[in-house]
Amino acid sequence: MTERRRVVVTAIGMVTPLGVGVEATWRATLRADNGVRPVQRFDASDYPVRFAAEVAVPGSGAPLKQTLALMALDEALAGGAPAAGSRLGVCLGSEAARPPLEWLFRSEAPKVSEIAALAPDAPTRLVAARLGATGPRSTVSTACTSSSQAIGEAVLRIRRGEVDTMIAGGVDVLSEPLMVVGFSKLGALSTRNDAPELASRPFDAHRDGFVLGEGAGMLVLEEREHALRRGAPILAEVTGYGCSCNAWRITDSPPDGRGAAAAMLDALHDAGLTPADIGYINAHGTSTPQNDYSESQAIHRVFASPVPVSSTKGQMGHLVAACGAVEAILCVLALRDQQLPPTRNLVDPDPACGDLDHVRIARATHGALKHTLTNAFGFGGSNGSLVFSSAEGSGQPR
């Protein structure tokens, strides 16, 4: 039997409400800084929710989603772009953009380029064209699971030998009038307009909904031997990927967490690991009553012993199609620096979620952290889990 091709992470880039760039976001995440503030992009004074986790970047004239995707990509490629051609592919998580409200009042029809920029695959097209990537190009649009599944599908393409390198990740922009009104009507958003910095509080007994966020995360994934031959730095190895569907309801997960548990178990099986091998879980942890309860039940189903758990959405809100990629990068950084990021605003853990080992202040693991797991569970019932393992066992180039 042919040995399975191994997939490693050789470069990363991200833009989040906590900062532009990997290191800025990582430092702010460990400090449990606040990325949630009153909306600045439009006048939200008459909206039911008047805050969000926005990215502070100067206007470029281009659609913000494309700008964020290229900023994250440029950081990931700062050390050099992969070779163009058919052995390079792109797979990104992205949702369709919403038409600006002012379009309703325009007399002229929108341009073809404006319509094309709203498509879910607009960022993927842009990245592939920028790199000359003529290998497989695909876009995953499964709401909050989009970029986790994009990373997983990219891993599978490399394992199958279709390509040597994949650009994988995701991007989303949610601080928009239609999103605020729509999710408010669903009752999914926190309404702490008087204290937005306290609004995103995963697993806390007093959580009342999630916070709309935005951002982008990009990972360069390579077949391990390909990376070693070109002397690329290996940051971590993607050892496991699992996905499942709840086949339940559109707006929430089954209370027993069975779909989420299936995704985690699949990822562990794919990695050849047991639950006891995992040293940290970056939870989906949206700060909604239903999601946090369901995910906690899933964790209890899979892990017999407590594992350190945190949700970094407490710091930066919910990045939806981008959250899986950004949180995957945070897992890579946790392995690199042997630091576990905390959950901001977790003051009174909800007893209904069980006795989870919550990380409430950043923890140093002093070299003990070898494997991390990150979860993403999407609106509509999709679930995705990824396992990242330490680069030490991946044959770091000398």
* Interatomic CA distance for residues 86 and 20, integer angstroms: 31
Residues 6+ apart with CB under 8 A from 102: none
- Which DSSP state fits 309? E
Q: Which of 318, 323, 331, 353 is catalytic?
A: 318
Q: Which of 144, 243, 331, 353 is catalytic?
A: 144
Let me know: does 161 contact 222? Beta carbons within 8 Å: no
**Can you tell me which residue has the tokens 């990380």?**
359
* CA torsion through residues 53, 56, 57, 60, sign: positive
Active site (annotated) includes residue 366:
no
Active site (annotated) includes residue 206:
no
- Which DSSP state fits 252? S
Q: Which of 355, 313, 350 is nearest to 330 (CA)?
A: 313
Let me know: does 6 contact 238? Beta carbons within 8 Å: no
Active site (annotated) includes residue 318:
yes
Give strand ranges (E) for 274-381: 280-282, 308-310, 339-340, 357-358, 363-364, 371-377
Q: Which of 91, 243, 284, 371 is catalytic?
A: 284
Catalytic residue positions, numbered: 144, 284, 318
